[in-house]
Amino acid sequence: MTWPNRFLAFFREIEKHFSVILQAEGCREGWLQGEFFRHFRENGVQVNYPGLDRAKHDLYCKLPSEMLVEIKVYVDDIRGTEIKRFVRSKGGDPLSHADILNLDPPNGSYLRDVLRLMERPTPPDERYMILVLPKEGDRAISGLHVVAREHETEENFGTFRVRISRIQGI
């Protein structure tokens, strides 16, 4: 089973509980990290894995294939008028490394995490950005793609949806 399929199976298992946690501001990503650890600890998943740049990555695992993950949960929308305007101007096309650099996203943001995954030297070859979005609404973040659609997996759940993007290094 691929990592994206494992991740979606995980979200199916926690869907009911996570729908409640989505209402708890300030702890959503931390709760998800803990649940990922609890669920995948037998595979050797580590949370807050130290990266080469001293910044920590949300998840890391060596087996069955080495992977690195960043997680973002948005219950609102991306901030910044310029970013929203730019994302909408792309018309659903993926943002390139240069596009993201030009936007100069703040530390801790979705796009900054995508940059960190793109720019990290290999290994690991498998790098994923997991984006959790509210199911309803037409927000700019819904149109934000950082990879071609064939490298994305998306699934709708009761009150949220999950988009998993496989990030390629530069």
According to the model, what pLDDT value does residue 4 have?
95
Asked whether residue 141 carries a pLDDT value surpassing 80, the answer given is no
Asked whether residue 25 carries a pLDDT value surpassing 70, the answer given is yes
According to the model, what pLDDT value does residue 80 have?
62
Nearest Cα to 111, choosing from 80, 68, 150, 67?
80
Average pLDDT of span 12-37: 94
Report pLDDT digits (tens) over 64-92: 888 999 999 987 766 666 677 777 777 77
Asked whether residue 136 carries a pLDDT value surpassing 60, the answer given is yes
According to the model, what pLDDT value does residue 103 have?
86
According to the model, what pLDDT value does residue 121 have?
82
Nearest Cα to 156, choosing from 5, 1, 12, 4?
12
Dihedral (CA of 50, 55, 59, 65) sign: negative
Average pLDDT of span 30-45: 94
The number of domains in the chain is 1
Q: What is the mean pLDDT of the chain?
A: 86
According to the model, what pLDDT value does residue 29 have?
93
Output the 3-class SS for 79-147.
CCHHHHHHHHHCCCCCCCHHHHHHHCCCCCCHHHHHHHHHHCCCCCCEEEEEEEEECCCCCHHHHCCCC
pLDDT-derived band at 46, boundaries 50, 70, 90: very high
**Single pTM value for the model:** 0.90
Domain hosting 37: range is: 3-166
